[in-house]
Amino acid sequence: GCVENDLREHLLALLRGEPVEVWTRGERVMDSDRVHALVRFPRRSNRWLHEELVLAGLARIYTMPTDLPDGTPKQTHLRHLRALEAEARAGQRGAWAKR
């Protein structure tokens, strides 16, 4: 669909030529074969990839919060993500756009 194409293009634009930091944990995500991995852009904005995607309206908040490697407590970060999602919704970005 349209949002999937938007997501692909946005990810490619974010990752093209940009160094990233990847933080992983040895625990599974929601009883799946996946493991926690956090990606951050240290040069551009020092934002996490999931923050960029929520702000662009290309990801929704559907997770159990976790403390971030930089020391940000999980509840503080969850409030921040909700604010980014509200900003994306107000700006009608990504999945929030009226099509």
- pLDDT digits (tens), the chain, 99 positions: 566 777 888 888 888 877 888 888 766 666 777 666 788 888 877 788 889 899 999 988 887 778 888 899 999 999 999 999 999 999 999 888 886
Per-residue pLDDT, 57 = 92
Per-residue pLDDT, 2 = 67
| Cα 7 to Cα 67: distance, rounded to the nearest angstrom | 25
Per-residue pLDDT, 7 = 81
Region label for 4, one of left (φ > 0), alpha (ψ between -120 and 50) or beta (otherwise)? alpha
Cβ within 8 Å of residue 75, ≥6 positions away: 65
Q: What global pTM score does this model have?
A: 0.80
Q: Which residues of 62-93 are buried (b: 16+ CB within 10 A; e: fewer)?
A: eeeeeebeeeeeeeebbeebeebbeebeeeeb
